[in-house]
Structure formats: structure tokens, C-alpha cells
Amino acid sequence: MDIQIDEIFSLGLAILMGILAGKFAYRLKIPRVTGYLLMGLLIGPHFTNLIPEHVVHNLDVINDIALGLILFAIGNEFEWSHLNRIGIAKLLQLALFETLGVLVFVSGGFMLLGYEPVISLLVGSIAIATAPAATLLVVREFHSHGPLTDRLLALVAVNNILAMGLFRIIYSFVHLSNGADLTATILQPIYEIVVSVVLGILLGKILGFWERHLDELPELLLVIIGVILVGTGLARMLQLPPMMVAMAAGATIANSSYVHRLIYVEQRQLEQPIYIAFFVLAGLSLHVEMLLQMGFAGVVYLLARSAGKIGGIWLAGRVTSQPVEVSKFLGMTLLCQAGVAIGLSYEIIADYPEIGQMITTIVLATVILNETVGPYLVKLGLSMAHEVPEDISSQSAEVRSS
């Protein structure tokens, strides 16, 4: 009898194996998210094939839900009182220096390799993106707090917005050079950004209104899930970036709700199994063979992106008044990269297969390294900045030695 692997079985297996991977990662004193990713790689089609590739694609809805929850939480970092405490000007300075650093190093590197300026800038815009999911989960796992943590979560949101915005602008020049209509090319990014933000604000307002008419607290969790699912679905239907919708909804509720902290407490009751499944499934999708295909351009991308982020933040610390731990360690915490970059590269391959294949190969290959090593660097940077509580550090050390 030919037994077909079932999606529900695969989802349950992903969660159970992810829990085990998290326990091993904890004992090895590395972030659990790295364990989830490596476990996904182990049980996926590239190694043991316990979960085949066709099943991974059928579970994409889990990724959409998880990203919606994560980006909704990241949007909370745009609470005005929180931004004012950090300093909006200082945050924008960090974002500007980091963005320019990545564009200069990555785009400059690709121009030196002989690529056209517009293609080099397109690759540079993708390199700006930072994976919000892995970064947020490391911060939560180690309960970090302090100047670096505050800026890290806010900056992750800002540089993903900048990455998508710059990508849209530069990509419009690619379209124009290939004979696209000028008016449509200009209006498309404006439509995506404006409508995404408006839709996110409306959904946040609906959630804020509903919270004032709750019959019981568990109802709040259901409303959060419903709002995120509706937002993601509408974004797909209207051909909008779901990421911007979810972040706009999170930012709206953070600034208009009286009990928005309670909303995030309720949300976290649901997060863990979904996040474990999300990262194990992400590990299943990692293409190890891409490491052999990325070539010298991939090495340039990986090193130039790291240099741009670390160097940009360091320079921002020297030129502007930033806390010492921020200028020293913030750059290394921004190296995770996954979903946003992959999504942008797939958009190119759908329109221009030859260009897109080159960029997608590089992004997929470097995601393997950025997503497995990146979370550890987030934890290392937070620890070196002394923002991981001593009891967490000592507890991890005791578990490792036992």
C-alpha cells in the first residue's frame, strides 16, 4: 500500500520535533529558533525526507498566520511613548546610516562585479531587510531589555519598511527600462503603500473598538486571530504586502488601545506552537544545494551586507549621540534575513526570470547562513551589551554544565 504523507501529520511532527530541538538548543546555550531551523532541515526533503517538499507548500497558511502575528507584535514597537523614550530622531539616524551602509557596500560590490547599476541597487534594497521573526523570538526567549533591545525591535520594523519602499522605487526603473507604462509604474508602489497602511489602521481600529465590548477575556484572543487572518487575506486579494498591513494594525492598536499590553499577553498564549511550526517549516524549505550555486556574487552579498549593517550602525554611533552598547553591538543583531528578502526576490523571478534566478539563488543561499547563525549573533550582541538578565544567563550555563 502506497501511503501518502498527510499535512496534519506533518504539522504535528513539525511541532513535536521542534519542541525537542528547542530543548537541545537550550542545553547547548544557543537560541531555540536556531534549533527549530536545523531540525526542519534534518527532517526535510534534503536529508531524511520525513516531511516531503509537496507537503511544505500545502502548509503555507501556517507561515502566513505566524508572520501576521509576528509583524502585528513588531508594529507595537511604534508606540509613540516608546519611540519618544528612544528618540525618534536617533532611531531614524540609525536607520539612515544602516540603510546607506548596506546600499553602498552591497550595490557597490555588485557594480564592481560588472552588474548594471539598477540591478545592483535592486540587490542592495533586498539586502536591507531583516527577518523580524527570528529577531523577535530571540529577544523574547532571553527576556532582554535595555537601550539596544529597544532600538533593535523598532529598527527591524523600520528597515523592513525601508527595504520594501526602496525596492518598489528601484524596481519601477527596471520596469521602465523594459518598456512598462510610466503612469502605472509610478502609481503601483503608491497604491500598495497607502492602501496597506489605511487597511492596517482600519483593522487596528476595529480591534480597539471590539476590546471595549468583550464579554470575556478569551474572546480577545479570537478577535486578534480573526483580525490578522482578515488582514492577510485582504492583502492577498488586493495584491498588497501583508507585512505592512499587519504592522500598521499593530501600530494602531499600540497607540489607540487602553489595554494594548493585555492584547499582546493574550496573543502570546497562542504563539508558541505556531512559531515552532513556522520555523521548523522554514528549515524544511532551506536549500542547502544553493550554497554551492551562489558563487562569488553570493559571497560578496553575504560579506557586504554584514559590513554595511555593522559598519553603518558603528558610524551612526560615532557621528550621532548613541549609547555605546548600541554602536558596538546593534549591527550584529540585524543580520537575520528570510521571508521579506525571499518574497522580494520571487517577485523579480516572476517578471524577469533571468535576473530573478540570479538574485533568488543568492538570497536563498545566504538565508541558510543568516537564519542559522543570525539568531546566535542576536543573542551574543544582547549578552555583550549586558541586556540579558543574569538569572537567564546563569540558568543557561547551569543547564549546559549539567
Q: What is the mean predicted confidence (pLDDT) over 338-349?
A: 77
Residues in contact with 166: Cβ distance below 8 Å, sequence separation at least 6, in sequence order: 99, 103, 125, 128
Whether the per-residue pLDDT at 394 is higher than 60: the answer is no
Cα 227 from chain centre: 20
pLDDT at residue 199, as a whole number: 93
Question: Distance between CA atoms of 21 and 112, rounded to whole angstroms?
Answer: 42
Alpha helices for 59-217 (secondary structure H): 60-75, 80-86, 88-102, 108-112, 117-128, 132-141, 147-177, 182-211
Indicate the pLDDT class of residue 107, thresholds 50, 70 and 90.
very high
Q: What is the pTM of this model?
A: 0.78
Whether the per-residue pLDDT at 260 is higher than 70: the answer is no
Check if the beta carbon of residue 186 is closer than 8 Å to that of residue 172: yes
- Lowest model confidence (mean pLDDT) among 162-176, 183-197, 204-218: 204-218
Closest to 290 measured CA to CA, from 299, 278, 279:
299
Q: Exposure pattern of 197-228 as b/e (b: 16+ CB <10 Å)? A: bebbbbbbebbbebbeeeeeeeebbebbbebb
Question: Distance between CA atoms of 202 and 252, rounded to whole angstroms?
Answer: 8
- Lowest model confidence (mean pLDDT) among 157-161, 290-294, 326-330: 290-294
Whether the per-residue pLDDT at 47 is higher than 60: the answer is yes
Q: What is the mean predicted confidence (pLDDT) over 380-392?
A: 82
Whether the per-residue pLDDT at 116 is higher than 50: the answer is yes
pLDDT at residue 350, as a whole number: 73
Q: What is the mean predicted confidence (pLDDT) over 125-130?
A: 89
pLDDT at residue 292, as a whole number: 65
Check if the beta carbon of residue 138 is closer than 8 Å to that of residue 340: no
pLDDT at residue 293, as a whole number: 65
Question: Distance between CA atoms of 92 and 86, rounded to whole angstroms?
Answer: 11
Whether the per-residue pLDDT at 55 is higher than 90: the answer is no
Q: Dmax over Cα atoms in the chain, in whole Å?
A: 69
For 294-338, the DSSP string reads SHHHHHHHHHHHHHHHHHHHHHHHHHTT--HHHHHHTGGGG----
Indicate the pLDDT class of residue 373, thresholds 50, 70 and 90.
confident
Quote the cell numbers at residue 196.
Answer: 496597506
Per-residue pLDDT reduced to its tens digit, 197-247: 999 999 988 888 887 777 776 677 778 888 888 998 898 888 888 878 888
**What is the percentage of the chain residues whose pLDDT exceeds 70?**
89
Whether the per-residue pLDDT at 76 is higher than 80: the answer is no
Question: Distance between CA atoms of 195 and 240, rounded to whole angstroms?
Answer: 8
For 31-58, the DSSP string reads -HHHHHHHHHHHHSTTTT-SS-HHHHHH
CA separation (Å) from 177 to 185, 188, 294, 326?
11, 16, 26, 41
Whether the per-residue pLDDT at 296 is higher than 90: the answer is no
Indicate the pLDDT class of residue 110, thresholds 50, 70 and 90.
very high
Indicate the pLDDT class of residue 144, thresholds 50, 70 and 90.
confident
Whether the per-residue pLDDT at 305 is higher than 80: the answer is yes
CATH number of 7-401: 1.20.1530.20
Per-residue pLDDT reduced to its tens digit, 62-72: 777 777 887 78
pLDDT at residue 216, as a whole number: 72
